[in-house]
Structures are given as structure tokens and as C-alpha cells.
Structure 1
């Protein structure tokens, strides 16, 4: 049944889903028109919100570009290549490849979302070299594991409210991860998704005559060329000692960060880890730079599109449109249904504000008073926002850009399969938030 349902979904998306750049332009127009029509903002005011906020994600844009680049460099190092090859060899046929890449992506994304995006995409490429399987579904399966990130160890909403001095501390206090990430209802959702998402991906596997395969030669697995050193500059470019004099201190810093100072994972630390592991494992600066030149090709979408999303977020927040949308959806909620409607509203807002921390800042002033008035557990409502943010990433191509850049595909190639996952995971998450 799922295979039959996926066919029209894939065809629909391939035909009508535009390039992510067109998608972000359309979202910009929709947000601007809605701010004018619903919030009674003037066109000049909306334009100013958009322009003033356009560059607010520059730091984040660079971080995301580095997630792609440093992750690619790490995975292309000889030791990691061999590890991925051994792990990929466990897949016995197309079905096994789909299941394996989904499990790896789910586990990696639950640990850290940036780690999950990169590992899933790179592992999918490695599997495609060894197994003849539909490449679109393979990459879609890698991306579908991302749906669990906000219920995991690096979820920005649960980590925010667990931090001393967070912006709503006077209202709700500090709520530890034992009440959010490790609460029974949240773990139940994670377990359901770990079971359902791989199985759904497996059941969507097209017949061979309908599959789209990729030539392994196109995945960049070229044999290493023997380097002939004729100049002093080339000797430095191929110096293991020079690379390790910088790379090893970087790894020592990470040991200090995690074990002596008790630091945690965040996007900067993930990028630092990927980069310095890559420096050490590539052994020579020349090997690292060759990998960098290949990695950077997939980053164009991030560079051009993230500023537009920053502009959309500014319109949604400053005009009051995000708060109005949230208020409208929870206005008819009851004690039982508030987590569900919070989840739905967060999913819709996420299409325009694809940032977990930013979304909580927008929705918390609406959701927290509603939860207090109806007597609903604050941790459950907070996690409903978190899961809504993660859920519609299966439809919103914003977070897929690093995966697509690594895999060499377009959004329309994978989003048809993700659309089926959107429906099924939405039902499971709703059940978990409402009944567990």
C-alpha cells in the first residue's frame, strides 16, 4: 500500500515542487502579504522588517556551511571511508540498505542534529557505491531520520528551558531534561519513530523498473594519485608533521572541553570536532584541501537561501503574524487537545521560521499562558513545540540543503517520499503527545 501511495506522491512533488530557492521566494511573498492583510502592517513597514532582518542568520549560515564542508572532509578521510565501507557492507540488498541508512540517521540525529544530517547523507553515498538501490529513496531515508532531532540530546527547546536564566525562567522556572527529553511520553515517541520510519521507508522501495539508480563512478570515488614532490612548497603541503602540529592540539582542546570542563555538544563544537578530526585523519594539508574543493560545491544553496529565511523570520516575528497564527490554533483547545494543537501550530510556523530556538521564542509567550490556564503540563507543551518544529522539516527544504548538497540531488527528488513520512510521523507524534 505504501509503495502504491508513494508513486503519486513522488510524481506530484517532482512535477510541482520548485527548487528550494523558488520555495523561499514564494514563502517571502506569502509572509509579506499575510503581514499586510492580517496584521494591518504597511508595505513600507514590512519591507523594513524584511530588510533589517535579512542578515540576522549570517553566523548560523556559516555554521551550516561548515557542517556540510567539515563533515564531508571527515567522511572522505581514508580511515572513515574504510569504516563506512565496512558498515555499508552489512546491507544485504536494496531493502537492507534502506533500513540501515535510516537507523544510522535516526541514531545520529538523536545525538546531534548537525551530526545526523552529515552522517546520514555521507553514509547514503557509501551505500550507493555498494548496493544497487533507488538513490532518491536512499537519500530520502537518510534525511527522514532527522525528524527525531528535537526530541533528542541536542533539542534546542528542551535545552533552552533547562538552562539557568532562560527568557521564560520567571514564568516556568528551570525544567530539566528528565521532564522533557527523558520523559516517558517523549521516549515513547522516539521509540515509535525508530520502529516506524525505517519500516515505512522500506515499504516505499520502488520496483526495479521504477527505480532511479546512480552510477557509482559519479559519486567521486576516484583512486588517489601518487604525489610527486618537486618544490619546497609542495613538501609543506604534503607534510604530516605540519598537519598534526595543529590537528592534535585541536583534539586535546576537545578532550579538555568534554571531560575536564564538562562541556556539551553544540553546533560550533560539532564543527570543531569534524574539522580537527579531518585534519588529523587526512594526514596531509594537500589531501584535506582536495577534499575541501569537492565539499564546497554543495554549499551554494545554503549561501544564497539562508538570508531569505532570516528575512521571513523577521516578518513573522516583528509583525506579530507568528503569534496570531499560534493564538488562532490554540484558541479552541482543551486540556486534552492543547498539546496536539500546539504541535500543529508549531509545524505550520516552522515552514516560515525554520529555527527551533527562534520558534520557541515566538511561540512560548502564546503557549505557556494557554497551558497554565488549562492546567496542562508545561514540559509536554514545550515538547509539542519541539516536535512540531522537527516534524515539518520533512516538507520544508531548508534543512535538507546540506543533505542535498552532499548527495548531489534536488529537493524534488526526495520530498515525495518525505511527504508519506510526514503523514505517518505526524499521526504517531500526535498520539504520543496526547495519550502517553
Structure 2
């Protein structure tokens, strides 16, 4: 369990932070303990020694003669030698430490004793190297003291070590919490991705966390939506094409069983062309080949006028009305296909089709209006979906698999436009394309 935890991003980052904090902690202790071992003594020097000398002097001075020897004996320590003598051996050293202690004694306790003398004896023992001589009733109080040495661990006090340890632990804990907050969205994203491989249809993942993770979540949601839509479209495509191919295949089978090949040749070719048209239309929609075409400027008014003329030559009742020189930066073949599909759809359901185009400065509006039966209320959005047809019989329009309006919608949205369907009074349908000018 622990080994698995340290294979995760959270575990590895926590390990890195913990090791870094521990290394910093021990490195700091090592620096304090080994660097600058000749540091000066703690800030109170020389006052502890000065107060101690003054206390012993005042105690001996205030005591009767017969009690002074006992006081002197009681004041002796390993680092504090005291004796009351008539002929002291005066040391001849005059170090900076001796001068500092003598200055402290004279400035603070000059009222208690006069002209204290401090010398350095050079004894080699720092605990009793300094000699303080104080005159006392014809004799001399000799005190041997010293300057406190600096222990290499004197600065490693419990508060300091505790503060360093608390700092390292706090940094590790807060860093772990921050990393957990950051990796939380990644864990949920990984769970969603794993579940998506099994269930396909899932709720979108919440976009949270840092900017990069939100972008990954947004990309995952878009990918999930596209894959789900693609799988749904392919499922409907297989059902629709399988249903539509059954009729011509059955007809061809019956015709072949009849055995009259010469008379059935044209019918077989017509059925083959019909199946080819359905398969080609389906593959074209699924491939989305219009996205790879290069964009260029196109005169929409000229294109619509040309399309209407071509349909009119086949006997269709169609007319174009609109402004001239409506230019649009687009993929020409894709736009041509979308407009052709709209017009063919209108001619199939209506007897007359009116096509118009206009531009108001901010958008381009193209209308294809027919006088057919229109679309039942509530089913306008439905017919924009792939492989959906409202024909009462699926064979009512040979070669169609219900992709005409879906292809138009895909092309229009790829050009940042929108396709709208509106009921026309008293009957008919208005197919409107709106592009940004």
C-alpha cells in the first residue's frame, strides 16, 4: 500500500518535499555546529562575572573578620577561585577580555571598591585565566575567573531546534495539502477516462483546479461529446443504411430469380446506383471532408443565382431574389453542397421554392422558402439530427438516408454560422442560414 502510494504524483512530490526539508534541517544544524566555532561569548559577558565578583566582595566586606574565611571557602568553584591574601602574585597579562572585565567592574561597582585590577595569567585554563584583585582592609581579595567558552552546540537550543523542526514539518504538510488539491482534479479525470472506456455516455467532468488542468478537463469533455456523438451517429447510420438497403437488395434478388436478365438490366443498374448513392452520402457525412478544403472569397449571390438557374432548367419552379456582390470568405465546395442540399430538400417537399440573400453589415442571411407541408410542431430540432426523416415511408425518397439537413448544419457551423428552420404561414418551411459578415 505504501509502495503504491509513492508511485503516485502526490506520493512522489511529498517524498521530495520531505527529503528536502529533512536535508535542510540537518544541514542547518551542521552549519550552526561547525561553522565559526570562535564566535564571541553570549551577549551578557562580562556582566555575569562582574556581578559575581561584586557579590563575593560585598559579602566578605560586610562579614566580621572571623567569618570571612568561611565565606571565601564557600564561594570557591571549579571556575571561580577565591582567596584573601596579604601578598598576591599579580599576573602580568593585559588581554582584551581582562580590560573588558576591569572596565565593567569600575563602571558599575566603583562605589563599592576602588581601583579594581584585572589581569590575564595565561594559565591555559580559560575558566581561571582572568585575575581580579580587590583591596580589602589592608589585604587583597584575589578572584580567579574566566570568560565563558563557546560550546559548539551552544546555539542549538531547544527553542531553535524546535522551531526548525516545526518549520520543516509545516512546510511538508502544507505542500502535501497543496499538491493533493492540485492532483485531485487529475485523479477524477483519470477515473472519468477509465469509466468512459466502459460506458461511453457519462456526465461531463467538472472543470476545476489550475488553468492547465481546467484546459485538460475541457478538452476531455469535448472529446467525450464528440466520441459519444460519433458513436451515436454510426449506430443510427448502420440502422438506417441497413434498413434502406434491404429494399433494393430484395428487389434485385426477386428480379434475378425471375431469370429475365436482358429486360432487368436497367432496373438492376438503377438499384445499384441507388445503393451507391446512399453509401456515398453516408461515408461523406462521416468523413467530414469539407473541413480540409482551403478557404477563399466567394460571391454568394452569384452562386445562388447559378444554382437556381440550373434547377430551373430541369423544370423546377424556383426563383432567386437578393442583392448583388455578397462576398463571403468560405470553403466554396462545402457551401455549394450545403445550398444544393437545402434547395433539393425544398423542391422535394414543395412545388415552388423562393431563394433570397441579403447582408445588413453585421451578418449575411440566406433564405430557402418552400410551400410544402412544413414540419410538425416540436420536430424541427429532430430533423436536424443525422439519419432522421419524417417521410411516412422510408422509400418515399429513393437514395436518401436523412443526411441532407445534417450535412448543411455541419457545414454552416464549421463557418461560424447557424441554421434555423421556421414554419411558414399558411404552410411551408423557411430554411435560413445566418453567417457573420
Coarse TM-score class (shorter-chain normalised): under 0.3
**TM, length-normalised to structure 2:** 0.21
**TM, length-normalised to structure 1:** 0.22
Q: Which structure has the highest helix share of the two? A: 1
